């Protein structure tokens, strides 16, 4: 089994079982652990693939200047790291296995990385928004490599060598300590922000409702991808006020071309209504969002207003 699946997968399976109870082992169980191992490797691949032009010494954004979503995910990484450190102290490796899977698959791949693609791929390479995202995934990657090193020894060592280098950084991941909050947030991050974390819990719940509505519209052949849609949300207080505060970010959070808000009657979170229809305008050839401004820029007639600004910035930069 080890020769077919690899020693790393076998080690990962060992971490998944509770040694305090009867342990049942089979190739099928190890293959299941191997699938989860691949998902974690894909998490690292996404991180490394978006840090090619990132130098922490010159490009890292201080925590206080980062975008709200990036700050939230770094705080969530702190909570995750604390849970994993506690489980190591208790030798509860099976809890680490399940916590890591949930963090990588649910929090990162299905949510954060999905939302982040637009900013990483479409924004200007040196823009504050993109550097903020790169700073966040760099810190998350560093934390994950350190926390998983005892379980995924060779994988984390290989990843450690490909993560951006820092002068004070250990040569091997096995010489580095488990990350503390200051390692994840930065030295000048300030106190925790439970109110903001609660707001993001609500925003993620609204996102889930929007994704369900988009899936229904897709099944009814109204739209193909989410970017072909514009979403109208009717919400009562306090959700309406929260959505208003984040209104400029909602279309990126939901991965649609436009979002409109309307205030409903009553209070509480139960009065949320989502309506999906075809997006107005034309499809931008660069970002694939639909916009009524495609064609207004004669220099770039096939892209939206956001992409034309990025292209002009790229064109103005001197070539190497």
For residue 215, give the CATH number of its domain: 3.30.2320.20
Q: What is the DSSP string of 5-58?
A: H-HHHHHHHHHHS-TTS-----HHHHHHHHHHHHHHHHHHHHHHHT-TT--HHH
* 297 pLDDT above the threshold of 60: yes
8 A C-beta contact, residue 159 and residue 37:
no
The answer to whether residue 183 scores a pLDDT higher than 60 is yes
Tokens of 77: 């990484």
> Would you say residue 27 has pLDDT above 90?
no
Q: Output the pLDDT for position 193.
A: 81
The verdict on residue 89 lying in a domain is: yes
Q: Does 212 map to a domain?
A: yes
Do the domain assignments include residue 132?
yes
Whether residue 191 is predicted with pLDDT greater than 70 in this model: the reply is: no
Question: What local confidence, expressed as pLDDT, does residue 46 receive?
Answer: 97
pLDDT reported for residue 1: 63
In terms of domains, do 250 and 176 share one?
A: no
Tell whether 90 is covered by a domain. yes
Mean pLDDT of the chain: 91
Provide the b/e sequence for 267-283 (b: ≥16 CB within 10 Å): eeeebbebebeebebeb
R_g of the chain, CA atoms, integer Å: 22
CB 41 within 8 A of CB 155: yes
Question: Which residue, among 300, 297, 281, has the nearest Cα to 289 in the 3D structure?
Answer: 281
283 forms bridges with which residues in the sheet?
Answer: 290
Averaged pLDDT for residues 200-208? 96
Q: Could you say which of 144, 170, 192 is where a domain stops?
A: 192
pTM value is: 0.92
What is the model's pLDDT at position 268? Answer: 54
How many helices and strands, by DSSP H and E, does the chain display?
14, 5
Among residues of the chain, what percentage have pLDDT more than 70?
95
pLDDT, residue 316, reads 84
pLDDT at 217: 95
Q: Do 109 and 11 reside in the same domain of the chain? A: yes
Specify the residue for token string 């934390």.
143
Is 299 domain-assigned? no
The residue whose two tokens read 């509860």 is 92
Same domain, 25 and 164: yes
Supply the pLDDT for residue 203: 96
Instruction: Give tens-digit pLDDT for 126-181.
Output: 999 999 999 999 999 999 999 999 999 999 999 999 999 888 899 999 999 999 99
For 29, the domain range is 2-192
59 and 150 housed in the same domain: yes
Considering the domain architecture, whether residues 202 and 185 belong to the same structural domain is answered as no
Asked if pLDDT for residue 234 goes beyond 80, the answer is: yes
Chain centroid, CA 74 distance in Å: 10
Closest CA to 110 of 255, 304, 9: 255
For 119-128, write each residue's pLDDT tens digit.
999 999 999 9
Residue 8 belongs to domain with CATH number: 1.10.730.20
Same domain membership, residue 168 and residue 96: yes
Question: In this structure, are 238 and 104 located in the same domain?
Answer: no
For 31-79, what is each residue's pLDDT tens digit?
Answer: 888 899 999 999 999 999 999 999 999 999 999 999 999 999 999 999 9
For the segment 99-115, the average pLDDT, to the nearest whole number, is: 96
Residue-level length of the chain: 320
The 3-state DSSP class for residue 106 equals helix
Residues 119 and 242 in one domain: no
53 and 134 both lie in a single domain: yes
Q: Using CA atoms, how far apart are residues 68 and 53, in angstroms rounded to an integer?
A: 23
pLDDT at 219: 95
Query: Are 271 and 199 found together in one domain?
Result: yes
Instruction: Provide, for the chain, the percentages of residues in helix, strand and coil under a 3-state DSSP scheme, each rounded to the nearest 5.
Output: 60, 10, 30
**In terms of Cα–Cα distance, which of 62, 63, 60 is closest to 193?**
63
Residue 29 included in any domain: yes
210 shares its domain with 264: yes
Domain boundary pick from 156, 177, 192 = 192
Integer Cα distance of 5 and 27 in angstroms: 9
Beta bridge partners of 259: 231
In a domain, 241, yes or no: yes
Total count of domains within the chain: 2
Q: Are 124 and 314 in contact (CB under 8 A)?
A: yes
Indicate the pairing of strand 258-267 with strand 229-237: parallel
Phi, psi for residue 290 in degrees, rounded to 5: -95, 135
How high is the pLDDT of residue 320?
Answer: 54
- The confidence score (pLDDT) of residue 170 equals 94
Place 11 in a pLDDT band, splitting at 50, 70 and 90.
Answer: confident
Residue 75 CA to residue 184 CA, distance in Å, equals: 8
How many whole angstroms separate alpha carbon 179 and alpha carbon 142?
8
The pLDDT, as a whole number, for residue 7 is 77
pLDDT by residue (tens digit) across 254-284? 999 999 999 987 665 557 999 999 999 999 9
**Whole-number pLDDT of residue 294:** 94
Assess if residue 298 is contained within a domain: no
Which of 175, 192, 209 marks a domain boundary?
192
Query: For the chain, what percent of residues have pLDDT higher than 90?
Result: 79
Same domain, yes or no, for 173 and 248?
no
pLDDT band at 18 (very low <50, low <70, confident <90, very high): confident
């Amino acid at each position: 089994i080890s020769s077919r699946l690899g020693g790393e997968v076998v080690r990962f399976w060992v971490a998944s079982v509770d040694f305090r109870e009867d342990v049942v082992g089979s190739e099928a169980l190890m293959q299941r652990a191997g699938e989860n191992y691949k998902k974690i490797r894909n998490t690292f691949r996404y991180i490394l693939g978006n840090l090619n032009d990132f130098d922490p010494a010159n490009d890292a954004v201080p925590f206080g200047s980062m975008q709200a979503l990036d700050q939230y995910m770094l705080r969530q990484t702190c909570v995750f790291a604390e849970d994993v450190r506690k489980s190591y102290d208790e030798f509860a490796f099976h809890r680490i296995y399940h916590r890591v899977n949930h963090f990588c698959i649910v929090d990162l791949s299905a949510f954060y990385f999905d939302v982040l693609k637009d900013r990483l791929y479409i924004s200007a390479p040196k823009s504050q928004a993109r550097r903020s995202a790169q700073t966040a995934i760099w810190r998350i990657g560093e934390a994950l490599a350190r926390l998983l090193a005892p379980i995924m020894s060779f994988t984390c060592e290989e990843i450690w060598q490909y993560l951006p280098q820092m002068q004070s950084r250990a040569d091997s991941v096995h010489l580095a300590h488990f990350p503390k909050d200051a390692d994840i947030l930065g030295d000048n991050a300030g106190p925790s922000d439970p109110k903001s974390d609660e707001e993001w819990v609500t925003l993620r719940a609204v996102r889930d409702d929007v994704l369900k509505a988009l899936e229904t519209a897709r099944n009814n052949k109204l739209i193909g991808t989410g970017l072909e849609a514009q979403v109208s949300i009717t919400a009562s207080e306090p959700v309406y006020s929260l959505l208003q505060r984040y209104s400029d970010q909602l279309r990126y959070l939901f991965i649609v071309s436009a979002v409109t808000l309307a205030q409903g009657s009553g209070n509480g979170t139960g009065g949320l209504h989502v309506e999906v229809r075809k997006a107005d305008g034309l499809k931008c050839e660069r970002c694939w969002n639909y916009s009524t401004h495609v064609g207004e820029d004669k220099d770039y007639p096939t892209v939206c207003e956001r992409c034309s600004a990025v292209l002009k910035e790229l064109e103005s930069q001197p070539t190497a």
